[in-house]
């Protein structure tokens, strides 16, 4: 990837993980800005975790190299972290629905539609003459619109 070697976009990370570790779910750092996670689909076990997408790519491409950490107290039981994917999906869907309802109220009851890019991932929300993307808001039919 051109530019900083420590930057990997979500599409590249998702493609690399699905080619090399089939049956996983990839949650990238953006747009949530929480962290990047590779989750085993069936069990919910966290396979890889990192603050940035690059940290996961670094762990995948050079698994022998372990980053140095401060000494931490050892847990009494070695239980690997797991996520309940259904609960996580349910909570995410509920939050999205809450925000869509609030957007509809703010727009005076206009119908809001989620548009998808390449048929897979949401790209924008269209509500009346306004289009909302991760980059900001755009007015359809306004000046500078193609």
Residue-wise pLDDT for 94-129, tens only, equals 998 998 888 888 888 889 999 998 878 888 999 988
Torsion over CA: 38, 67, 34, 7 (sign): negative
The answer to whether the beta carbons of residues 40 and 47 sit under 8 Å apart is yes
Alpha helices in 1-146 (DSSP H): 10-20, 53-61, 85-106
Residue 145, CB-side half-sphere exposure with 13 Å CA sphere: 10
- How far apart (Å, rounded) are the C-alpha atoms in residues 74 and 41? 28
The answer to whether the beta carbons of residues 56 and 38 sit under 8 Å apart is yes
Per-domain residue ranges for the chain? 10-61, 102-146
Residue-wise pLDDT for 28-86, tens only, equals 776 666 778 888 887 888 888 888 878 888 888 876 655 555 556 666 666 666 777 77
Whole-model pTM: value is 0.50
Q: Which long-range contacts (CB under 8 A, 24 or more apart) does 118-124 make?
A: none
State the pLDDT at residue 125: 92
């Amino acid at each position: 990837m051109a530019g900083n070697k420590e930057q990997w976009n979500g599409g590249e990370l998702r493609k690399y993980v699905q080619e090399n570790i089939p049956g996983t779910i990839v949650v990238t750092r953006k747009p949530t800005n929480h962290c990047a996670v590779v989750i085993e689909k069936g069990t919910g076990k966290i396979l890889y975790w990192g603050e940035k997408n690059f940290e996961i790519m670094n762990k995948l491409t050079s698994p022998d190299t372990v980053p140095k950490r401060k000494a931490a107290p050892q847990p009494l039981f070695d239980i690997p972290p797991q996520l309940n994917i259904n609960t996580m999906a349910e909570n995410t869907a509920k939050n999205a629905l809450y925000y869509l309802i609030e957007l509809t109220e703010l727009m005076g009851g206009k119908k809001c539609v989620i548009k998808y890019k390449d048929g897979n991932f949401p790209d924008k929300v269209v509500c009346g003459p306004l289009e909302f993307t991760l980059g900001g808001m755009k007015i359809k039919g306004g000046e500078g619109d193609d």
